[in-house]
Amino acid sequence: MADGVQVADVISTETADDIALICIDNPPVNATGHAVRIGLSSAISDINSAGKAKVIALYCAGRTFTAGADIREFGKPPKQPSLPDVLNEVERSAIPVVSVIHGTALGGGFEIALATHARVAIKGAKVGLPEVLLGLLPGAGGTQRLPRLAGLSFALDVILSGRQVPVSEALEKGVVDRVVEGAPRDVALAAARQVLDGTLTTRRTDRIEAEYDRAVLDATLEGVRRKAPHLFSPAKCVEAVAACNLPIDEGLKVERQAFLDCMETPQRAGLIHAFFGERAVSNIAEAKGPTREIAKIGVIGGGTMGSGIATSCLIAGLPVRLIEVAADGLERGVATITKNLDGAVSRGKLSSDKRDAAIAMLEPSLEMESLSDVDLVIEAVFEQMDVKKDIFGKLDAICKPGAILASNTSYLDIDEIATSTNRPGDVLGLHFFSPAHVMRLLEIVQGKHTGADVLASGFALAKRLKKVGVLAQVCDGFIGNRILAHYGLCAAYLVLDGASPQQVDRALEQFGFAMGPHKVSDLAGLDIGWMTRKRKAETRDPAQRYAGDIADKICENGWFGRKTGQGYYLYDSGAPVPNPEVAGIIDAVRAAKGITPKDFSDEDIVDRYMTAMIVEAARVVEDGTAKRPVDVDMVFLFGYGFPRFRGGPLHYADTIGAAALVERIEGYAAEDAHYWRVPDILRKMAADGSTFADLNKEG
């Protein structure tokens, strides 16, 4: 090709004969940041002004087509030209433009392709409009051009799900015109020639009338309000798509306004924090560097946790040797794993072939000695220090040199466990969350002596298992359960002092939690908390008000929640209904303690519960148990059902502000000065006006 011209660093153009090529090269994902927008706009206008080319082919360099708007620019003052303006220029180009999609064309990236006049995709590519997952809507023409090209129902499905559409489906729906094999530049040249010889037809979406059905739009709107009552952007997506029967300029104006409305919401900030947070947790020195090879895994314990961990490893293609002490326990473990895998198949998460391959990679054994050749052992037996130490002592003798020895303990001291071995450098905590083959969180607990390569191997394993690995230091409960213990107490105080369990659950569900804390306890089993309270009875701080009486009395009746058919709720008829006998227990406990019940508003409940969570989360950051606030946030999003649109407890704390939080805690402390204490870190932040987001930046 002759006449190579650099329009901007990230855009290059080539012209030869009748063909002009535009290449976007903005690693890592060709996001349409300011430079790309300027460059693309100039390239289109320059090629049109030169008047030499008869066709323009647009493609991207690197691993993918563009991933859309540069999300890092959101929340900052906008820089012109905007992507919608640039894409209008692309659509109005007198010279037809064909785009070539490889990798993923997402958000504004897919919208670029929609604004071009023909789309050729390279095999394996995917397209999608994931803006809704960031609290936004497609704001560069996607809500107007996709329904025109592929129909209303398909457009609504793609825009509201944010899913990545395989190119075969996109071809079937007429969104892409052709699927081919080859390198992007070669395909671009070939596609341009096909436009020239008339074998690839071009069309402008602004000249296509969208199919329109008010009933479909109404039903969709009702559906999103029912399914995602807390979310702002899904209804805005429907509102924008509903304008696709207008002339395109007017429809684009409606879309623009709806996009700007979404941009202003705290939900957008929360969801984008979640997007970057998911990546930030493993973007640390401890997760990088040399790792040990993990090709075979041993799991000790065939209970719910051990079986879930084994399932997760098998799904990731890692052979597992499952160890139990007795034949019946081993059989139960294998049955649970089989059930887990079958469930994954029926939910469409696993193919039947992969399920069969996973089963074939499972080796049940009653001999701990059979772990002599594995690269990693994950111990998942019950939470008793002497039992764990005994197992780790045996593993030290059995396992080959260099094998990693991990405990799935939720609370216990990894350093003490490691003392029972002669290789504390090989020991770490890998704390999975139940059900371990579903929940994405993995706390990677660093002991005093854990080797750097062992820790990095924990992160590599998390990635292989498609989990979000978060670094935690040793303490009772690590990051998540330690914070849970603190705000769980707050929920118990709320009930003791006047709220009903149902009111607490309702208030927090309205805040955005999928389930209130009492429903969660019923699901997990009330006996778990009962055992913990008994275990900690001797070391309980006498100055702290005891709030476990109500739960203790429920357990004394043998009511452990869902598994026994009753707990805080009754489960006879499927949907939980409040257990009327629990109200009697609550009254009796209050009377025995001389408590006159108070009225709590739903807002007060949320404020107290969230403040309690923030207080302990702040302490966890302050004492270094978590590396940064964002690590705490991701623990809660991926392990505790925290509403993603709120970004996590410490992102949420920033929306309240440290000064307001300090004032709030001091107000609560007037009632209970022992429980409510202002963490030093929060007091300092209130004084200097800093935020948890600032601490994330310091890293």
- Which DSSP string corresponds to 281-316? TT-SGGGSS-------EEEE--SHHHHHHHHHHHHT
Q: Report the Cα 264 to chain-centroid distance in Å.
A: 22
CB-nearer residue toward ligand 3HC: 12 or 26:
26
Annotated catalytic residue, options 91, 131, 239, 443: 131
Residue type, 613: M
Q: Report the Cα 304 to chain-centroid distance in Å.
A: 23
Place of tokens 């499952």: 322
CB-nearer residue toward ligand 3HC: 68 or 525:
68
Give the up-direction half-sphere exposure of residue 689: CA atoms within 13 A in the CB hemisphere: 0
Distance separating alpha carbons of residues 434 and 430, to the nearest angstrom: 13
CB-nearer residue toward ligand 3HC: 106 or 305:
106
Distance separating alpha carbons of residues 695 and 630, to the nearest angstrom: 9
Q: How far is the CB of 141 from ligand 3HC (least distance, A)?
A: 8
Distance separating alpha carbons of residues 445 and 479, to the nearest angstrom: 9
Distance separating alpha carbons of residues 142 and 101, to the nearest angstrom: 16
Bridge partners (DSSP) of residue 471 are: 444
Distance separating alpha carbons of residues 611 and 668, to the nearest angstrom: 10
Distance separating alpha carbons of residues 470 and 439, to the nearest angstrom: 13
Q: How far is the CB of 138 from ligand 3HC (least distance, A)?
A: 4
Q: Is the peptide bond before 435 cis (omega within 30 degrees of 0)?
A: yes
Check: CB of residue 217 under 8 Å from CB of residue 242.
yes
Structure tokens at 380: 């998942």
CB-nearer residue toward ligand 3HC: 252 or 621:
252
CB-nearer residue toward ligand 3HC: 122 or 309:
122
Q: Report the Cα 287 to chain-centroid distance in Å.
A: 19
Q: Which of 379, 483, 362, 491 is nearest to 426 (CA)?
A: 379
Q: Which of 468, 466, 470, 469 is nearest to 316 (CA)?
A: 466
Q: Which of 484, 317, 332 is nearest to 411 (CA)?
A: 484
CB-nearer residue toward ligand 3HC: 4 or 27:
27
Q: How far is the CB of 70 from ligand 3HC (least distance, A)?
A: 4
Q: Is the peptide bond before 81 cis (omega within 30 degrees of 0)?
A: yes
CB-nearer residue toward ligand 3HC: 166 or 303:
166
CB-nearer residue toward ligand 3HC: 142 or 308:
142
Residue type, 117: H
Q: How far is the CB of 106 from ligand 3HC (least distance, A)?
A: 4
CB-nearer residue toward ligand 3HC: 276 or 382:
276
Annotated catalytic residue, options 89, 111, 255, 324: 111
Determine phi and psi for 321, rounding to 5 degrees: -105, 120
Check: CB of residue 135 under 8 Å from CB of residue 271.
yes
CB-nearer residue toward ligand 3HC: 389 or 463:
463
Q: How far is the CB of 45 from ligand 3HC (least distance, A)?
A: 21
Determine phi and psi for 320, rounding to 5 degrees: -125, 135
Distance separating alpha carbons of residues 630 and 635, to the nearest angstrom: 9
Q: How far is the CB of 655 from ligand 3HC (least distance, A)?
A: 21
Residue 111 known to be catalytic: yes
Structure tokens at 499: 């709220």
Q: How far is the CB of 276 from ligand 3HC (least distance, A)?
A: 6
Q: Report the Cα 319 to chain-centroid distance in Å.
A: 27
Strands (E), 531-608: 569-570, 577-578
Q: How far is the CB of 306 from ligand 3HC (least distance, A)?
A: 30
At a CB cut-off of 8 Å and minimum separation 6, what does 13 contact?
A: 4, 5, 7, 20, 21, 22, 23, 43, 46, 47
Residue 239 known to be catalytic: no
For residue 398, give Cα distances in angstroms to 367, 391, 600: 11, 10, 57
Q: Is the peptide bond before 28 cis (omega within 30 degrees of 0)?
A: yes
Q: How far is the CB of 679 from ligand 3HC (least distance, A)?
A: 30
DSSP code for 366 = S
Q: Which of 403, 417, 405, 409 is nearest to 380 (CA)?
A: 409
Q: How far is the CB of 80 from ligand 3HC (least distance, A)?
A: 14
For residue 630, give Cα distances in angstroms to 270, 508, 634: 12, 22, 6
Q: Which of 276, 233, 230, 282 is nearest to 258 (CA)?
A: 233
Q: How far is the CB of 692 from ligand 3HC (least distance, A)?
A: 20
Residue whose CB is nearest to ligand 3HC in the complex, by number: 107
Rg (CA), the chain: 29
Q: Which residues in this chain contact ligand 3HC in the complex, by CB under 6 A?
A: 28-29, 31, 64, 67-72, 83, 104, 106-108, 111, 130-131, 134, 136, 138-140, 276, 279, 283
Check: CB of residue 531 under 8 Å from CB of residue 496.
no
Check: CB of residue 315 under 8 Å from CB of residue 437.
yes
Active site residues: 111, 131
